[in-house]
Amino acid sequence: MTLKQVVDNVAEMPASKKAVVDVKDLSLTFQTTDGPVYALSEVNLTIEEGDFVSFIGPSGCGKTTLLRVIADLEKATGGEISINGVSPEDARQARAYGYVFQAPALLPWRSIESNVTLPLEIMDLSKEERIKRAHDALKLVELNGFEKKFPWQLSGGMQQRASIARALSFDADLLLMDEPFGALDEIVRDHLNEQLLKLWARTNKTVAFVTHSIPEAVYLSSKIVVMSPRPGRIIDVIETKFPKDRTLDIRETPEFLEIAHRVREGLRAGHSNDE
């Protein structure tokens, strides 16, 4: 059923959009002292321009690994992957994506503003340009006014917003987010989800978003990729038809609950394999 579903879903896609991430038969095996670990196995996926793709699955399903392969932080051991038509390494060197980690990873000795300008400094932009872009990026995440604060003076949610501003500052078209709100409480998470959606609608960026929250995945995404562990693989790809300017209210609609149900079923099916 699952393979057919994937094929069906792929067939449904409008062909006009440009593929930002194209993954074919990708696999990644870590050689450890306890023997090989199959982190990813025969993964096929296309992320198109303007997509918001969520990766969901239990820990060990390879969702973070997949994101890291896209970001050239890990090397695939088999299959093909291209980002904007080039290899992940070339894409990274062209600064094709902004990456948001699980933790804010702000440098504690830099103010919020100069944390956001860090990538711009590395890219050798002029000081005026850096300040201007940092200002714009902080405005996008509603952190204007906090430029001169140090990270420890901000709450966890604000720190993560600053790290998103940092990923936005150099205006890459692709945003890779690895469970960015995983450590935050529900209320803050809802708020940041809303902000992220607005940001996505406004900037038309392509987003790849790793999460283990079903409501978060369904609420945010235009496409949900359900993954399963041992070996890490894709077991379902679900497209949602919610408008880009959706609000939190859609979580009460039957359509939302139906998709959430399908995601949950997929996760459950993936789990039953090893229990």
Residues that bind another protein (CB under 8 A): 71-73, 92-93, 95, 97-99, 101-103, 105, 107-111, 118-119, 121-123, 150-152
Q: Least distance from C-beta 8 to another protein, angstroms?
A: 34
Q: Least distance from C-beta 103 to another protein, angstroms?
A: 6
31 forms beta bridges with: 36
The DSSP symbol for 86 reads B
Q: Least distance from C-beta 7 to another protein, angstroms?
A: 33
Pair type for strands 174-178 and 206-211: parallel
Pick the closer one to another protein by CB: 6 or 103.
Answer: 103
Pick the closer one to another protein by CB: 3 or 107.
Answer: 107
Pick the closer one to another protein by CB: 27 or 111.
Answer: 111
Q: Least distance from C-beta 171 to another protein, angstroms?
A: 13
Contact status, residue 147 vs residue 111, Cβ threshold 8 Å = yes
Q: Least distance from C-beta 261 to another protein, angstroms?
A: 35
Strands, sheet with 19-32, edge to edge from the N-terminal-most edge strand = 35-48, 19-32, 78-83
- Burial (0-12, 13-18, 19+ Cβ within 10 Å), 182: middle
Pick the closer one to another protein by CB: 122 or 248.
Answer: 122
Contact status, residue 46 vs residue 25, Cβ threshold 8 Å = no
Contact status, residue 194 vs residue 248, Cβ threshold 8 Å = yes
Pick the closer one to another protein by CB: 97 or 209.
Answer: 97
Structure tokens at 204: 């038309």
Contact status, residue 219 vs residue 246, Cβ threshold 8 Å = yes
Pick the closer one to another protein by CB: 62 or 119.
Answer: 119
Helix boundaries (H) for 178-230? 186-203, 214-220
Pick the closer one to another protein by CB: 93 or 204.
Answer: 93
Q: Least distance from C-beta 92 to another protein, angstroms?
A: 6
Please enumerate in sequence order all residues whose Cβ is within 8 A of that of 61, keeping only pairs 6 or more positions apart, or say none.
Answer: 227, 228, 229, 232, 233, 270
Q: Least distance from C-beta 170 to another protein, angstroms?
A: 8
Pick the closer one to another protein by CB: 64 or 211.
Answer: 64
What DSSP line would sit under 20-60, residue for residue?
A: EEEEEEEEEEEEETTEEEEEEEEEEEEEETT-EEEEE-STT
Q: Least distance from C-beta 50 to another protein, angstroms?
A: 22
